[in-house]
């Protein structure tokens, strides 16, 4: 019996607390509405939207140039990459793969398709992994746009660091696969 009385008191306390919370929320919204905060938020949002649109319009020619250069690099490089280029040495393969990938930056899904085609042609897994990692992370073609938006120093350091990782990750990946299987 004591449990049931305690449960009723707890339930009533919860209902009173929820009602008080609802009343306080309505009062807060009313206060905000009357104080003109919503008008200020709308004005700031409108100003931010205009500023964003201006920035996008200013960057549009750079993005178009970057896309054109990337498309050109993607079209030209796969015709030149073959198993003849790779296969001399693991380190040379990784450096070549990372170099090609950093010049022909692109979307990850496209890199997987290209990687599958290169593996089918007999290119080593080390070279394909380096190409895919650098394809996605390093961007020589979009470096000018990145430097303009994020700063020259940051863009250069980010690309150099990603290139170093694009050389290290293939070795770690292939040797981990060898340990597992």
More confident residue, 152 or 37: 152
Confidence of residue 164 (pLDDT cuts 50, 70, 90): very high
What is the mean predicted confidence (pLDDT) over 9-16? 59
Q: Where are the domains of the chain?
A: 60-180
Distance CA 110, CA 74 (A): 10
Q: Please name the residue ranges forming H helices in the chain.
A: 2-35, 37-80, 90-103, 108-121, 125-137, 143-150, 152-180
User: What DSSP character marks residue 86?
Assistant: S
Among 111-120, 144-153, 157-166, the range of highest mean pLDDT: 157-166
Q: What is the pLDDT of residue 175?
A: 92
What is the mean predicted confidence (pLDDT) over 122-127? 88
Confidence of residue 81 (pLDDT cuts 50, 70, 90): low
Q: What is the pLDDT of residue 83?
A: 58
Report how far apart, in Å, the C-alpha atoms of 113 and of each of 86, 87, 108, 110, 120 are.
18, 20, 9, 5, 11
Q: What is the pLDDT of residue 153?
A: 94
């Amino acid at each position: 019996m004591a449990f049931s009385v305690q449960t009723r008191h707890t339930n009533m306390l919860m209902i009173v607390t929820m009602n008080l919370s609802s009343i306080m929320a309505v009062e807060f919204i009313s206060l905000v509405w009357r104080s003109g905060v919503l008008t200020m938020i709308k004005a700031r949002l409108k100003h931010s939207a205009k500023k964003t649109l201006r920035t996008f319009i200013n960057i549009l020619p750079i993005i178009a140039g970057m896309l054109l250069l990337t498309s050109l690099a993607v079209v030209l490089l796969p015709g030149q990459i073959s198993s003849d280029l790779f296969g001399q040495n693991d380190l040379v393969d990784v450096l070549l793969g990372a170099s090609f990938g950093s010049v022909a930056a692109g979307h990850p899904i496209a890199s997987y398709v290209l990687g599958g085609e290169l593996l089918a042609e007999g290119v080593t897994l080390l070279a394909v992994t380096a190409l895919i990692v650098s394809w996605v992370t390093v961007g020589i073609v979009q470096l000018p746009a990145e430097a303009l938006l994020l700063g020259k120093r940051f863009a250069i350091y980010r690309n150099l660091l990603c290139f170093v990782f694009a050389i290290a990750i293939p070795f770690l990946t292939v040797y981990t696969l060898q340990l597992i299987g």
